[in-house]
Amino acid sequence: MEPKHTRTLHARIISWFSEHARDLPWRHSDCSPWGVLVSEVMLQQTPVVRVLPVWQEWMQRWPEPASLAAEPSGEAVRAWGRLGYPRRALRLHAAAGEIAASHGGKVPDTHAALLELPGVGDYTAAAVASFAFGRRETVVDTNIRRVHARLVAGDALPAQSLTAAEKKRAVSLLPRDDAESVAWNASVMELGALVCTARSPRCGECPVLDDCAWVRAGRPEPHYVPKGQAWHGTDRQVRGAMMAVLRQADGPVLRELLLTGPVDLVAPEAGAELAPLAALHALSAPQEQLERALQGLLRDGLAEATDSGVRLPA
């Protein structure tokens, strides 16, 4: 008993996608499931423009899971560059290992099996099953949630966490047909990324403006004030600065250099190679915080201690 209204939404949004979608390499028909998986993990909390060059580099260097699995995890972390949340690189490396060891080197093609992989949660499992394998899955990411919130619920923003009602709504909105469901997932996500954006939505370009509950309601304000992500002075900031030092270094970095060492311990003419170290020290983080940050990196497996210092996992 699918209402005519819903069918119209499907057709209009998918049609919009066919004309306005970005040409992204992981959407090409010749992109492997591995390429899709890598893209999805890289895209977690990270803008497309920053992912593109790193994804290209990874695909060239590690065209299949087994090639990544054959390298030390530190190589994955180094090649992750400045994408952020480097533990994702670690988990992708671990996932590649499991795929090589337990799945015959092939990315699993079901939501349940994908969910077992490190770094793959409900969103990524659904996205890979849908985009790489054409399965009918309910993909719910931040873009899709926002589009549904405005278009259907009439709210400026989705709730702060995914609710059961929201998930149910997403399920009910998904087209019956497999191929159409895949197109729908990609189309709604793209609409949220390009038109129905968090700030300053481009309603003039929206293919379903006529049906938008939020616009109809006079574009009311959000029900809550989004709380910002603390950064200055946090352990995260210190960890990030430390990781930058480790990525840039060829080998182990003296523990003292990481924790206390003033930059002038080293020859000034060393130049650019020392920039990350200078940046770390410029934070003027308390000794205790530096220690805590380093312990965190070691605990998380992002770094490892050797006799001569700290380095990326080798």
Partner DNA sequence: GATACGTGGCC
Partner DNA sequence: TGGCCAAGTAT
**Site map (CB under 7 A) of DNA, residues 248-287, x = contact:** ----------------------------------------
Where does residue 283 rank: exposed (0-12), middle (13-18), buried (19+ CB within 10 A)? middle
CB 310 within 8 A of CB 252: yes
By CB under 7 A, residue 313 contacts DNA: no
**Pick from 91, 111, 148, 150: which binds DNA (CB under 7 A)?**
91
By CB under 7 A, residue 199 contacts DNA: yes
| Contacts by residues 50-57 (CB-CB < 8 Å, ≥ 24 positions apart) | 50/82, 50/83, 51/83, 52/24, 52/25, 54/79, 54/80, 54/81, 54/83, 55/25, 55/26, 56/25
Q: Give the DSSP letter of residue 253.
A: B
By CB under 7 A, residue 176 contacts DNA: no
By CB under 7 A, residue 310 contacts DNA: no
Tell me the C-alpha distance between 117 and 73, whole Å.
16
Smallest CA-to-CA distance from 310 within 77, 83, 42, 58 is with 77
H/E segment holding residue 203: none
Q: Is residue 40 annotated as a catalytic residue, yes or no?
A: yes
Which residues 6+ apart lie within 8 Å of 208 measured at CB? 9, 12, 13, 151
104 or 121: whose CB is closer to DNA? 121
Using the contact rule CB under 7 A, the part of the chain among 64-72, 76-84, 104-112, 201-209 near DNA is 76-84
SS3 136: coil
Using the contact rule CB under 7 A, the part of the chain among 11-19, 55-63, 221-229, 263-271 near DNA is 221-229
**Pick from 10, 78, 111, 146: which binds DNA (CB under 7 A)?**
146
The one catalytic residue among 40, 64, 75, 190: 40
By CB under 7 A, residue 141 contacts DNA: yes
Number of residues in contact with DNA, rule: CB under 7 A?
A: 60
By CB under 7 A, residue 229 contacts DNA: yes
Which residues 6+ apart lie within 8 Å of 242 measured at CB? 258, 280, 293, 294, 297, 303
**Pick from 167, 236, 255, 311: which binds DNA (CB under 7 A)?**
236
**Pick from 16, 17, 33, 40: which binds DNA (CB under 7 A)?**
40
Using the contact rule CB under 7 A, the part of the chain among 2-10, 62-70, 84-92, 306-314 near DNA is 84-92
By CB under 7 A, residue 127 contacts DNA: yes
CB 156 within 8 A of CB 172: no
Tell me the C-alpha distance between 185 and 237, whole Å.
34
By CB under 7 A, residue 231 contacts DNA: yes
Where does residue 104 rank: exposed (0-12), middle (13-18), buried (19+ CB within 10 A)? exposed
By CB under 7 A, residue 189 contacts DNA: yes
CB 59 within 8 A of CB 46: no
295 or 308: whose CB is closer to DNA? 295
Angstrom CA distances, 312 to 9, 127, 137, 243, 248, stand at 49, 30, 37, 9, 10
163 or 306: whose CB is closer to DNA? 163
152 or 186: whose CB is closer to DNA? 186
60 or 200: whose CB is closer to DNA? 200
By CB under 7 A, residue 118 contacts DNA: yes
The residues of the shown chain that bind DNA, judged by CB under 7 A, are 24, 26-27, 39-40, 43-48, 50, 82-87, 91, 118-125, 127, 141-143, 146, 160-161, 163, 189-190, 192-193, 197-200, 225-229, 231-232, 234-236, 239-241, 243-244, 296, 302
Catalytic residues: 40
